[in-house]
Structure 1
Amino acid sequence: MMPMLNNRNKITGESYDQALLWVTLVLLAFGMVMVYSASISWAEGKSLTHHQASYYLVRHAGFLVVGLVVAGIAFQVPIRTWKKYATPLFLVGLGMLILVLVPGIGHKVLGSRRWIKLVLFQIQPSELMKFFAAVYVADYTTRKAALMHSFKQGFSPMLIVMIFVAFLLLQEPDFGAFVVIASISIAILWLGGINLRIFGGLLVLLVIGFIILILTSPYRLQRIVGYMDPWADPFGKGYQLTHALIAFGRGEWLGVGLGGSVEKLMYLPEAHTDFLLAVIAEELGFIGVAALVGLFAWVVVRSFKIAKESVSNEQYFSALLAQGIGVWIGVQSIINMGVNMGLLPTKGLTLPLLSFGGTGILANCVAMAVLLRIDWENKRLFKGIQV
């Protein structure tokens, strides 16, 4: 993700957002430490990992290296290029969402078909689709800016596309990714000037849709029931949540110390992915969780400040894309943290930039690199330098 040099213009230390870069790197590094801490016992106890304690650490480090390399390349891509290829990228994402549903191509784990298995690794299309959706909706909104007041000409084409995306995601099923992508899309449309009545109607439809999805799906309904009272069935529907809450309780203010978690000792399943925050809470306590929340909040606020600077430079696509990335990181973080603390029903969403998961880390790194690029272009435009 470090900005590189080009032939004509040398990038100086003041030409990109150093604070944003360092906060991102700190989150990535902290995530690697906590993934290792949370996964040691789990890796030692599984034959698929050859009982190697460092199995997930090595893989996560590999994902980080790939993510940072790809992010470095993404930083070199002008924002106008992302805009130019927004639709092709979105179509690639749709193609992957279709492929993952094809038996023999899509890889099924614990009842969900969310991965395309390759020779050395797996790709989770829904993670990449979050970025592709942010780019596409930002491009669509800027192109259709004059028509956003019209339901038929401005909003209905996007609604049809997003219903199709939702259909594909719910076939996997990946309800968590659907919620995040819907949040990104709605936020960009709202910030892009969609008619208030259309926006209000969309929110009502989404609420009704969520209720119908929950009531018509036994496993989703069970999660809601387990979330309402996890202690009623602590060895069944409420198992993960009760152990996550125990981890939070044990952590108290300062935690039991790095590496001292008991819940990660095969009590809390897959603690290095969806429930990483619970291990952080147990080992580093309220202070550690509060610091982490502060870092995520800073990233979200900074993304909106970068968007404001883009508006000043009349770069409206860049502004909407920056806001979309901010909403993505913010919403996914809030959902993951809410699930870990028992404030929201259990959802299969990782903690951005921290949790174990190759495609998620890759998508997050690229998103942060694009955000850095938007800020870099803003600074150059402010100085009167063309990008």
Structure 2
Amino acid sequence: MSLEKTMTLARTMSLETTQAITKTLSQVPVPPLPEWINRLMAGSNQYGANAFDRSFIVLGLTMYMVGLVMVASSSIPVAERLFNNPFHFVIRHGIYIGLSLAVAGVALQIPMSWWHKNSSYLLGFAIVLLVTVLLIGRSVNGSTRWIVLGPITVQAAEPAKLFFFCYLSAYLVRRREQVMENLKGFIKPLIVFGVMAALLLLQPDLGTVIVMFVTTFGLLFLAGAKLWQFIAMALVGATSLGMLAYFEPYRWRRVTSFLDPWQDPFGSGYQLTQSLMAYGRGEVLGQGLGNSIQKLEYLPEAHTDFVMAVLAEEFGFVGISVVLLLSMTLVYKALILGRYALAKEKYFEGFLAYSIGIWMCFQAAVNIGASAGIVPTKGLTMPLISYGGSSMIIMTLALVLLIRIDHEIRLQSIQATSSKRATKKELKSITKQNGDK
């Protein structure tokens, strides 16, 4: 046999062998990929066929329970002295949680289109609340922030934040190109913010103004405004906040006492030094539930603005880390939801989810930072944990809006998938009928 015939025979045998092996391998059942890999490859954050993301509810209820336990632990001494009932604040906090769940049940039935359509009316209602509190509001510790409605007190600044973010999200849907292209579109929402900030400063409530400013700043950045506009906005904002602090004696005392609270530990630095003692006593694992000393009326506002200091004393670094992890997870999911909503061209829902995520993140950071001496004291509650009915209800409403956004996106995806399947079935039916003919 010649060399050429030998090589031809070898190539033929090799080809036949390869085909046989390929045929054999094709008949071997291949195990399916894990579901999480399929989701990752699909580039979607829609997990399964659930109507909504249940992890939002798990996170919210977990933070409710942590807050209820810590309010119970930190408020008993002061409740015993003021009301001769050690469970006064615990009972009220439980009622607030019940009201929050009732509001959540109603809000879940409201479509996001309603919030979009009525965003201007909600903004008007927020401004009316801020004016009303200045006229007939109740003053506590020199601040007029609460409207008394029988046994209920409403802190007007809390709904004002959420309703302003609804308005800002709707504005960015209508005027996004103007925001990105010219100064006029960028300035308009800042004028509205300036009006609300002026009303808040008359209470006075600088903390809420800072939260709204940072959220507005972040949302305009995500909407695509130009870099020079942000630099100018940051400079103006920082200068204004500095002037507001410098020309108001009590605010300036807070700033200076924050820088060195031990300089006057029984005066302007008293609250922060007591809070730092609580953090120091907590160490890694804490002193145990109920074993805080600072809550025995050494630390003022232990169950409201400084509840995290008591948590740090009783559960230590581990307890603070768990709460931070819960808050970070909730914020992360809100931001991811916002990105996914924008990808699905649901712009109002996307911007609103972004604003809620930024708002919760910054407010939690300021609350924990103030109690740990990282930032000046601002009187902001810890979302879903601190005592306070208005804050609890509004934060729950914000969480419900995230759930509703997630639900509508999933519903849209399910409807689109069903429509595609129906179209494929119709095409197959038509093809079959044409083939029969």
Shared fold (TM-score greater than 0.5)?
Answer: yes
Q: What is the CA–CA distance in structure 2 between the aligned matches of 1:247 and 1:13, rounded to whole Å?
A: 46
Please state if 1:146 is matched with 2:172: no
Please state if 1:231 is matched with 2:262: yes
Match of residue 44 from structure 1: 80
Match of residue 77 from structure 1: 110
Match of residue 29 from structure 2: none
TM, length-normalised to structure 1: 0.94
Q: What is the CA–CA distance in structure 2 between the aligned matches of 1:193 and 1:95, rounded to whole Å?
A: 31
Worse-matched range after superposition: 135-144 or 304-313: 304-313
Partner residue of 2:56 out of 13, 20, 30: 20
Match of residue 174 from structure 1: 205
Structure 1's unaligned 5+ residue stretches are 1-11
Q: What is the CA–CA distance in structure 1 between the aligned matches of 2:187 and 2:340, rounded to whole Å?
A: 30
1:312 CA drift (Å): 2.0
TM, length-normalised to structure 2: 0.83
Match of residue 188 from structure 2: 157
**Structure ranking higher in helix proportion:** 2
Could you tell me whether the CA contact under 8 Å between 1:250 and 1:256 is conserved in 2? yes
Match of residue 31 from structure 1: 67
Match of residue 198 from structure 1: 229
Match of residue 132 from structure 2: 99
SS at match of 1:113: strand
1:153 CA drift (Å): 2.9
Match of residue 61 from structure 1: 94
SS at match of 1:262: coil
SS at match of 1:345: coil
Partner residue of 1:301 out of 310, 327, 332: 332
Match of residue 282 from structure 2: 251
Count of matched residue positions in the alignment of Structure 1 and Structure 2 = 370
Deviations along 1:22-69, one digit per CA (max 9) or x if unpaired, are: 0111001110111011000010111xx2x1000000001111100111
Partner residue of 1:350 out of 381, 398, 406: 381
1:151 CA drift (Å): 4.5
1:149 CA drift (Å): 2.8
SS at match of 1:117: strand
Q: Which amino acid is 1:167 matched to?
A: A
Match of residue 327 from structure 1: 358
Q: What is the CA–CA distance in structure 2 between the aligned matches of 1:187 and 1:122, rounded to whole Å?
A: 31
Higher relative contact order, chain-length normalized (CA < 8 Å, sep 6+) = 1
Runs of 4+ in 1 over 4 A off after TM superposition: none
Match of residue 252 from structure 2: 221
Deviations along 1:204-223, one digit per CA (max 9) or x if unpaired, are: 11011111111111011000
Q: Which amino acid is 1:210 matched to?
A: L
Q: What is the CA–CA distance in structure 2 between the aligned matches of 1:201 and 1:152, rounded to whole Å?
A: 11
Q: What is the CA–CA distance in structure 2 between the aligned matches of 1:85 and 1:160, rounded to whole Å?
A: 20
SS at match of 2:134: coil
CA RMSD of aligned residues (A): 1.3
Structure 2's unaligned 5+ residue stretches are 1-47, 419-437
Deviations along 1:83-119, one digit per CA (max 9) or x if unpaired, are: 00101001100010011111xx111000000011111
Could you tell me whether the CA contact under 8 Å between 1:151 and 1:198 is conserved in 2? no
